[in-house]
Amino acid sequence: MIGEERLSELVANEADMAYKRRVKLFLRWLDPAPGDRLLDAACGRGFMLNFLREVSDCALVGQDLEYAYVRQAHAQLAARAVPLLNGDLCRLPFADRTFDKVILAEVLEHLEDDRAGLMEAARVTRPGGAIVISVPNADYPFWWDPINKTLETLFGTHIADGPLAGIWACHVRLYTLDGLLALVERAGLQVEETRTLVRYCFPFIHNLVYGVGKPLLESGVLPAQMAEAASRYRVSGRAGGFLNPVNLGLWLFNRVDRLNDHLDEEVCDGPAMNICLKVRVPH
């Protein structure tokens, strides 16, 4: 089992508090061991694969539909023995029962046919193997994305594209817990653990991190010290001093995030940012 101190070090410079808690939860749930075959489906830029390689020598594979993301992941992970595939989650080029564990992190909400994507992940997972899932919660905290929460409440609409998209960015749907559990049941999978993550957050944090911070980081205009402090590929603790503007922001976000530490129930009552499941493919 990966120690809590090492988990915290891996995500020490993470500004998205929900992402930070998802990474730690998934690494605990996956508990990767030598000999495991693990697929990160819709791996994006390879951040989770990078974390996994830091803590395990298991056989890792990444897949993503976006070629630009696969190229960036390859550039970062080329020396880490992680094969990467540009392809569709709903048509994976793997034989049945290829993997022991599969990650579906923030991907089902992007799929027109989420059941097809989940069934394909189940097909390539061996009987008894685990799939870890996270999706955005339809009952998300107001302050996470006040713009869309207000539009949903007053006008029954939302912003799905652009810098103000917030939690709805490129998403087909958000999920209720009951809806996600029903989807898993229809796919013939067995729920082993259920969690909801992050009720308390810094106001407008989604817009600040993804609408402002992410474009600045990817544009290359940030000074090197700030870019290093904000990089998700860094896995050895926080970079730079306290007065680094990125670290000042992290300190402020973390102060608010501490309010979530006591929410250790499997499923907390009230709004939460993410719904997470650990499910098994039945024998």
- Pick the range with the lowest mean pLDDT from 4-8, 103-107, 128-132, 264-268: 264-268
From CA 158, how far away is CA 147, in angstroms rounded? Answer: 8
What does the pLDDT look like over 125-184, one tens digit per residue? 999 999 999 999 999 999 999 999 999 999 999 999 988 999 999 999 999 999 999 999
Q: What is the pTM of this model?
A: 0.95
- HEC readout, 142-187: HHHCHHHHHHHHHHCCCCCCCCCCHHHCCCCCCECHHHHHHHHHHC
Domains and CATH numbers, the chain: 4-280 (3.40.50.150)
Q: Is the pLDDT of residue 250 over 80?
A: yes
283 CB-contact burial (10 Å; exposed 0-12 / middle 13-18 / buried 19+): exposed
Mean pLDDT of the chain: 94
